[in-house]
Amino acid sequence: MTPFQSLPDYEMFLYSLSEYSSTILTSTVVLVRRSAQLAIVSGEITFASGHRLILYEVLNTRYGFLRLTSYGYEVWRIEEQLYWYDSQPHPNNLTLASTHPHHKHVPPDIKHNRIPAPGLSFTQPNLPLLIAEIE
């Protein structure tokens, strides 16, 4: 069963993240239901390596299945922001077309330097990919 079957399944997945990876030290991730069809996920995951993953997801079940409608993921090492992912469309940036709208912001000009983000999705959890990348 995928954690994206329903909001309760995804919520159970989120609250058991420390069982998913032994490198996770703490998690403040919470899922807050805004309505019967809408939920917001936010919080921070701290890793033994000193990395932190700050996340924000908007989930919707309006069409009978669970999907992300937007997200933002920031990865930090101590006080340095290493990179971030977001789903803000940039349709005029042809280098991002292969994974549109999913992309990653990377140094040196982290705000404007964007690369494709294969593996990120609106229809499956992104956290396993992000956790594996940090590990």
Task: Let me know: does 103 contact 85? Beta carbons within 8 Å.
Answer: yes
Going by pLDDT thresholds of 50, 70 and 90, the confidence category of residue 92 is confident
Using DSSP's 3-state secondary structure scheme, residue 129 falls into: helix
Global pTM?
0.92
Report domain extents, the chain. Answer: 7-134
Q: Which pLDDT tens digit goes with each residue over 45-76?
A: 999 999 999 999 999 988 788 999 999 999 99
Closest CA to 17 of 107, 106, 134: 134
Q: Which pLDDT tens digit goes with each residue over 10-39?
A: 999 999 988 878 899 999 999 999 998 899
